[in-house]
Structure formats: structure tokens, C-alpha cells
Structure 1
Amino acid sequence: MRDAKEPVAELVKRRRHPAVVQAMRSTAAATIAYAVALQLSSEPVPLTAPLTALLVVQVTLYATLTTGIRRVNAVVAGVLIAIAFSALVGLSWWSLGMIILASLAAGHLVKVHEFIPEVAISAMLVLGVTRVANTAWDRVLETLIGAGVGLLFNFLFAPPVWVRTASEHIEDLARRLQDLLQRIGAELGNHTPIDRAAARLHEARRLDNDVARVDAALRQAEDSLRLNPRVKEGKLHRVVLRTGLDTLEICTVVVRVVTRTLTDLAKHRTAEPLFAPDVADVLAELFDHVADAVASFAVLVTTQVNTDAQDAEDRLAGTLEAADASRARAAVRLLDCVRRDPRQWQLHGALLAEIDRILDELDMEHRTTRLMEELDRTTREGHRRFPRLRRLVRL
């Protein structure tokens, strides 16, 4: 029975995947745009309309608006250039080169960004037909139809908010970091060959790829919150997730430094454990608490956009308190260890400093300060970005 349910659950999960959602929405919008263009355009096959709708409809409403405006600008600029060239020189090999160069330059001037090639493509398609003027304006009409259908489609059927997807990516990154810290702590009392220590270092480095994937998912979530009628306090949600990822990214970097420190220590302890048993035990306990604190921090970050934030905050505070107590005991044991055996004392100090950096990044007061600073920064940027709109609102 359980095996029979797994394919169904997997299918439902795939239906909610951003790529699947975008494919379904783009297909519906393109089909509607073609049907509308058949009624309004004089072209027998008005494919420009569904093509425009296909490119305009994105996963988020914010991306749809910005993409639609840029695409319409690109097509109109290309059409106007084609009309001008057809009236002056016609189509030849040298005029084709001139129109491509002029179109690409115009694309930079009108700031259509990724649609700069579309300016040249539109100009060439219009210039290559016999009835340039009629075809040109039909192409503009079809482009407006496609862009209008795409924008209207997203207004009537608001795109989903991808905050949950981004939160799952953040939690997954924290779990990977937690698992690595726990395994590092469990090996401190054993003899660690240099190849095993190096493997932990490479594993920590690979976490950078996970950070990049989480960042991409978070950018999509941030776009889905902008201008979305479903969302209240979208700015707060964006700031909470973004600052949370920034903190986890710093922790990832510090963990990589920790594995570098332990690798250097393993080079000198080729026939003995990295630490004496009494030191290894307290360090293992410290690493466990730090790992739990990382996981609790991720839960707090993702819970603040849903419910039960106070429980998550209390859990993180308790975990950090236990980590601080364990850190104090580890400092005493490490100092005693260095007094007994001063070899590589600087690596012992570096390891403790790196743990301190992680705990400082996860500290509740530190996080509150960063949240306030980021909220202030984004508010100031918003005021600078739309000064005229702000003045109108005040009036």
C-alpha cells in the first residue's frame, strides 16, 4: 500500500515544481494569445502573439511585468528601424548588416537587456517581407496582444509564491551543515589520516554549490513576493529569508576554515588522535551543540514566514546557551592540553576562534541587529528608486 502511494505523492510533488508550473502557465497563455490574434490581426498565421506571450509569462508576477515591458520595447524598436530602412535603402547584403548593427545599438539605448537580439530579429523579419508597412504594424499588434494576454493572465491567475520552496532549500542546507559538523566532532578523538581530513575539507567546499542553489531559489521567492496581491509584508519576508541565508553562508565559510584547520592538524598527528580523549569528548559535545544551533537557526528563519516563531526562537536560544556552556568547558580543556603539549597550539586557538565566529553569527541579538539594518537599507533604496512616486503618495 505504501509503495502504491509513493508514485502518486511524487506526481503531486512534480506538479508543484516551478518548472512544471511555468510550462503549464506559459502554454495556456500562448494558446489564448494565438486565439485572440487570429481575430484581431490580418496575418493568416499570427505566431508573434503566442511567441510574445510565451516569453512574457514568467514564474512570478514581477518578472512578467518587467519582461513584458522590455520585450514590447524590443519589438517596437526593431519594427521602427525596419520601416526606416525599407523606406531608404531596401534589403541587400550591406543593408542587412547595417540594420543588424543599428538594431543592436538601439537595443542598448532602449535598455531591453536580455532582449537586445530580439530588436535585430524583429527588424530582419519585417524587412524580409514584401508589404513592409502592413506587416510591421501587424507585428506590433501581435506583440501587444501577446504581451497583454501574458500580463492579464498573471493578474487574473496570480502566480504561486515560492517562499516554501526557498525555505525547504534553506533547511536542506542547514541539515547538510549540521551533518558535517556532527561527523567532524565524532572523529576528533580518533586517529584521522590526512586523506580523510582532506575529504572533509572537500565536502565543506562543496557546500558552496549548495549555497548557490539556495540563493537561486531565494531570488525566485523574492520575485514572487514583489507586487503579488496574495502577499502581505512581502518586504519583511524577503529580508528574513535573505539575512538567514547570509548567516548560513558565513557559517559555511567558517566550517570550511574549521576543516582546513583540522586538516593542518592531521598533517602533524600522523600516528595519534587529533586530540586527547578528555579534550575530544568535550569538543565533540561542542560540535554537536553547534550543529543543533545551525539546524535550529534554519527552523527559526523559515518559521518566521509561517507560524510558531516564538517556539523556534526559544529552541534556538536554548541550543545556543548549551553551546556557550560547552564552549567554556572546551576552552579550559584546550588550555590544559596546550600546557601539557604545546605542539600546534596556534591550531587549537584557531579552532576555538572559528567556533566563536559561528556562535556569534547565530546569536539572537546579532540577528535582530542585522534584520533592522537590512530593513532600513531596503527602505532607503526603495525611496531612492521611486522618488516621484513617494512625493505623490505624500501629497
Structure 2
Amino acid sequence: MGPRDTGRWARKETAAVVATVRTVLRQPGPERDSVVQSLKAAGAAIAAWALAGWWLQAPMALLAPWTALALVDATVYRSLRAGLRQLAVILLGTLTAAAALSLTRGDTLAAMALALPPLVLVGTYRRLGTQGIYGATTALFVITATSTSSAEIGHRLLETGIGAVIGIAVNAFVLPPVHLRNAGDQLLRLPRDTGRLLRDLAQGVKGEWTAEQALDWHDEARRVEETLRYVRDARRHAEESSRLNPGLRLRRARSAQPPPALDARWSAAVDHLRAVTRTLATLGQGDNPLRSPGNDFFADWARLAETLAVLCEREYEALARREPSAPYVLEPRAVPEEVRVAYEALDASFRGLSGTGAVPAGELLAETRQLLRALVSEVPREVGR
């Protein structure tokens, strides 16, 4: 990565951070939820240390805040499940370390060589998730303490139990995370970001664009694709939020979840949008053997892209106005007249091309046609109103 690429990356990341901070301050959503969860995790760790280290004077109080910090998870269900796993893994690590110290007569290095390999291997078991590594780290704590007495082992379990109880309790009863709205929040970003990118593309292709600008467009398309993954993650979190969560009782109306059909539609749209930006990025390269389709073709393509951006903006506005508890209703929608006219003009422009310029033009026409089909196939009923 050269200095220019590094500078471009730094500018984009800085802009993304600033945008995230503004979102946190202006409106509720996943960003604000992340801030709340982070503060809760820090508070749980402090409370666990205050109880185990300051009040009880536990000999290895570090285990309590360490455990509490790890157990303030994305959902209450995950916290409870992770807590049970972690207690089991830490018990295994403690007993294995005690056995290794006993067999090696307190030799720290030999005990590590005996205990760590099997514990690290057990930690890779996929059903243990991220808690698997805690067996080996707990064993390190116990071995370096060089004590195998039942009282010391009991202290390790007590300290871990204190952290687990505090972490789970804080997550469950202090602003318990309810992700029922998050899938809809993330879905709302897809038409918004797609519309913005289409407008940027339409404005850019009307003149001369650089290879760096084309790469920026392609990066933005990949960011939109990441948002689609966030929608799926949020839906999974929403399902878990319905389990063992007292916070649901505080909500009078539960947020409706977007149907998977919307995911499929936007997945197709994002795929074709990314293909469009990839073709433009290829055309922007200096060593590209293909000729540009020309300004007339790109003028017609820009017109079509602007009409598609309007479709995205209308859907964004409709989804933003929808009541959280209102169900998502899908129905087919006809192609708007202005979109049809713009597409026919682009198709006529393509038919007038010849030579190597027709190759990228054909790719752009095909991918844009598929993008159009994805955007108008099935949409929430509110969009058409």
C-alpha cells in the first residue's frame, strides 16, 4: 500500500468514524446500542472487582472482572449460555492445572508443558465458542500461583462465579439489549446507501473519472454488501433477544422483523451494483485494452442510474415512515414510466456501439438491467403509496 492509498484509506476511515459518532448522538440504533453495551461491560467489570478484590480481598480477584467483562454479550441469552460454558471451561482449566502441578511436584515449566497442550486443543472445540480459550488461560493463572490446595481451587471458582453472576445480571437488568428493531434499522440503510452510490455514479460518469475514484465507488459497493451481512446478523440477534430477556416486558409493542425475502432481493441488487462498479473500475485502469463506450452512452446510463436512485430513495422514505410494530407487506410493483424510458434510451445507445467499446457497455447494460429487476420485483407496500 503506497502513501496515496494509505492517505485515501485514512480519510475514508476517519469519515466513517465521524459519521458513526454523529449517528450515536442523533438517533437510536445499532451504534448507540454498541456504546451502551460497552459501558455496561466496563461497569460490570468494575463492580466485580469492587466485590471480589476490594470487599472480599480474594487472592486472585482478577478472574472476577475478567469474567464479567466477557459475559456482557449481545443478548441476555448469549450471556447466560456463555456464562455456563465459561464456568465449565474454567473448572476444567483449574482442575487440569492442579493435576499438572501435583504430578510435576510444583515445577511451573513442566506443569505448563503438561497442561496447556490438551487445554488449548479442547479450546478449539467449536461448541465452546469464544469461551474455549479460557481453560488454558485459567490454567496459566493457577500454575503461576503454584498452589494445588482445595482452598485455592475453591477461590478460583468463587472469583469466576462472582464475575459471571455480575456480568449476567448487569446485562439482563441494566438496559437489557433488545435487538428486535436492529434488523429493520440495518435494512433501512440498504436503500439509503444504494441510492447515494447510484447518484455518485451518475454524477461521476458524466465527465472524466480517475482510477482512484472508480476504486472508491467499488469500495462503497462493498460497504453496502457488508450492511446486508449486518441485517442477517441483526435478525439472528433478534431471535436470541426473545429468549430469557426481561427487557421485552418493558416494550409495549414489539418491532416487526423484515422478512427474508427482502434480504434476497437486496442481495441480488447489491451483487449487480458491485458488478457495475467493478466494470467502471476496470475501465478506469490505464492498461485496460477495452475502449470506453463514450460520453453519449454514459450520459444515458447516468440518467437511468438517477431514476434507480429515486426508487431507492422512495423505498427508504417509506421504510423510515413505517411504524415499528407494523408488518412488512410485500407485493410486486410495475416499472415506473421514467425508469422504462431511461432504460430504453440506454438500450438504444448500446445498439449503436461497435468495436471494443461495446464490451464494457454490454456488461454495464446487463448488470444495470438485473439491478433494475431486483429493485422493482417485490417491495414493501408502503413504498408505492
Say yes or no: does 1:249 pair with 2:249.
Answer: no
Letter in 2 for 1:349: G
CA distance in 2, matches of 1:160, 1:91: 45
Q: Is the 8 A contact 1:49 1:146 kept in 2?
A: yes
Is the 2:301–2:346 Cα contact (8 Å) retained in structure 1? yes
Amino acid aligned to 2:306? D
Aligned to 1:358: 371
Partner of 1:386: none
Does residue 119 of structure 1 match 2:132? no
Give secondary structure in 1 for the equivalent of 2:147: coil
Query: Can you list the C-alpha shifts for 1:46-75, whole angstroms capped at 9, x where unaligned?
Result: 332222111111243243234323322221
Which residue does the alignment assign to 2:11? none
SS at match of 1:306: coil
**Unpaired segments ≥5 residues, structure 1:** 1-7, 369-395
1:154 aligns with 2:175: no
1:136 equivalent in structure 2:
153
Alignment correspondent of 1:289: 307
CA contact (8 A) 2:68 2:164 kept: yes
For 2:240, what is the secondary structure of its paired residue?
Answer: coil
1:274-313 → structure 2 map (5 Å cutoff) = 274-276=294-296, 282-299=300-317, 306=324
Residue matched to 1:79:
94
For each residue in 1:278-328, what CA deviation from the matched residue of structure 2 results, as whole angstroms up to 9, or x when unmatched? x66544332211222233445566666737778x979x9477553234313
Matched, 1:100 2:109: no
Residue in structure 2 matched with residue 5 of structure 1 by the alignment: none
Correspondence for 1:198 among 211, 217, 220: 211
| Residue of structure 2 in register with 1:349 after alignment | 362
Separation (CA, whole Å) in 2 of partners of 1:256 and 1:295: 20
Cα distance, 1:210 vs structure 2: 1.6
1:42 deviation in Å? 7.9
The whole-number CA distance in structure 1 between the counterparts of 2:131 and 2:71 is: 11
**If the length of structure 2 is used for normalisation, what is the TM-score?**
0.71
Report if the CA contact (8 A) 1:225-1:234 is conserved.
no
Distance in structure 1 (CA, Å) of the matches to 2:200 and 2:22: 32
CA root-mean-square deviation: 4.3
Structure 1 residue aligned with 2:227: 214
Bigger Cα displacement from structure 2, 101-110 vs 55-64: 101-110
- How far apart, CA to CA, are the structure 1 residues paired with 2:122 and 2:218? 43
* Aligned CA distance change for structure 1 residues 217 and 351 (closer, same or farther; 3 Å): closer
Deviation at 1:357, TM superposition (A): 0.8
Using the alignment, how far apart are the partners of 1:282 and 1:298 within structure 2?
Answer: 25
Change (3 A) 1:333 1:349: same
Question: 2:142 corresponds to which letter in structure 1?
Answer: V
| C-alpha spacing 1:20/1:158, structure 2 compared with 1 (3 Å) | closer
Q: Percent identity?
A: 20
More helix by share: 1
CA distance in 2, matches of 1:102, 1:343: 61
C-alpha separation in 2, matches of 1:252 and 1:309:
28
Say which is worse superposed, 167-176 or 205-214, in terms of deviation.
Answer: 167-176
Partner letter of residue 289 of structure 1?
Answer: T
Kindly indicate whether the alpha-carbon contact (under 8 Å) linking 1:38 and 1:46 is maintained by their aligned counterparts in 2: yes
Q: Distance in 2 between matches of 1:331 and 1:355?
A: 11
Separation (CA, whole Å) in 2 of partners of 1:129 and 1:14: 52
Looking at structure 2, the residues matched to 319 and 246 of structure 1 have their Cα atoms a distance apart, in angstroms, of 19
Aligned equivalents of 1:109, 1:222: Cα separation in 2? 26
Hey, what's the Cα distance between the residues in 2 that align with 1:268 and 1:110? 51
Counterpart check, 1:63 vs 2:84? no
Cα pair distance change 1:31/1:343, threshold 3 Å? closer
Q: Distance in 1 between matches of 2:116 and 2:130?
A: 16
Distance 2:64 2:124 in 1: 24
Residue 3 of structure 1 corresponds to none
Aligned partners of 1:145 and 1:73: how far apart in 2?
14
CA distance in 2, matches of 1:266, 1:187: 21
**Structure 2 gap segments, 5+ residues each:** 1-20, 381-385
In 2: Cα distance, 1:137 partner to 1:50 partner: 17
1:88 aligns with 2:103: yes
Instruction: Report the 3-state secondary structure (helix = DSSP H, G, I; strand = E; otherwise coil) of the residue aligned with 1:205.
Output: helix
Question: Is residue 2:348 matched to residue 1:327?
Answer: no
Structure 1 Cα separation of the partners of residues 165 and 224 of structure 2: 37
Question: 2:45 aligns to what?
Answer: 30
Judging changes above 3 Å, is the alpha-carbon distance between structure 1 residues 133 and 126 closer, same or farther for their aligned structure 2 residues?
farther
2:201, 2:217 within 8 Å by CA — same for their partners in 1?
no
Quote how far apart the aligned CAs of 1:240 are. Answer: 6.4
Residues of 2 paired with 1:61 and 1:241: CA distance?
27
Query: Per-residue deviation at 1:76?
Result: 1.1
